[in-house]
Amino acid sequence: MFDGQRILPAIKRMKDFEKVLESEYTYIVMLDLHISQLVGVAKYAKAHNKKLLLHADMIQGMKSDKYAAEFLCQTLRPAGLISTRGEVLRTAKKNGLLAVQRLFLLDTIALETSYRLAEKVEPDLIEVLPGVVPDLISKVQKETGVSVIAGGLIENESDLKRALDAGAHAITTSRQDLWGTH
């Protein structure tokens, strides 16, 4: 799915974006952007042959709904959108982009709600957070039949290995010291 890339650098600051532009990574996750940065980020990413996965729910100044998703899909054409919202994920799929459902492992109710959303939306991937719960990584994949990526609270190589061993397709991490692994 990511051309064999197992680590997906997750960018929280623009200086990290500048650093990853010069890296060997093709796919990068943009976590925290301001609406005014969208066009420039997309332009620089394209110029460096990077494929963006935009976290639609975390774009400051933009409501996370189907209209914003339509704008992102048609204007910026990222590789995919990440969201907890069904209408954003459906819009991404409709536009031929990867739809990545973000699933927070809070409690049983949150898990069941996320399963229902996955059944309705049929996302391409599910991002499980936190990614340090290997038993739930494999459980979510088994329950939904959807490939899982893991993110959140992955602090070291050991956490990364446990998530991959549990069946995670890839790992999202903002920890630069883990970008050079796998």
Q: Mean pLDDT in the chain?
A: 96
117-134, pLDDT tens digit by residue?
999 999 999 999 999 999
pLDDT for the residue numbered 180: 82
Q: How many H helices and E strands in the chain?
A: 8, 10
Distance CA 47, CA 6 (A): 23
Query: Nearest-CA neighbor of 139 among 155, 150, 152, 154?
Result: 150
Average pLDDT over residues 22-37: 96
Distance CA 68, CA 62 (A): 7
What amino acid occupies position 121? V
Q: Which residues contact 41 (CB under 8 A, 6 or more apart)?
A: 17, 30, 33, 52
Average pLDDT over residues 26-48: 97
Domains assigned to the chain? 7-177 (3.20.20.70)
pLDDT for the residue numbered 182: 56
Structure tokens that stand for 137 in this block: 């990584």
59-78, pLDDT tens digit by residue?
999 999 999 999 999 999 99
Q: Which residue in this structure is represented by tokens 């460096």? A: 48
81-111, pLDDT tens digit by residue?
999 999 999 999 999 999 999 999 999 999 9
Distance CA 164, CA 143 (A): 18
Q: Is it true that the peptide bond before 130 is cis, omega within 30 degrees of 0?
A: yes
116 in Cβ contact with 71 (< 8 Å): no
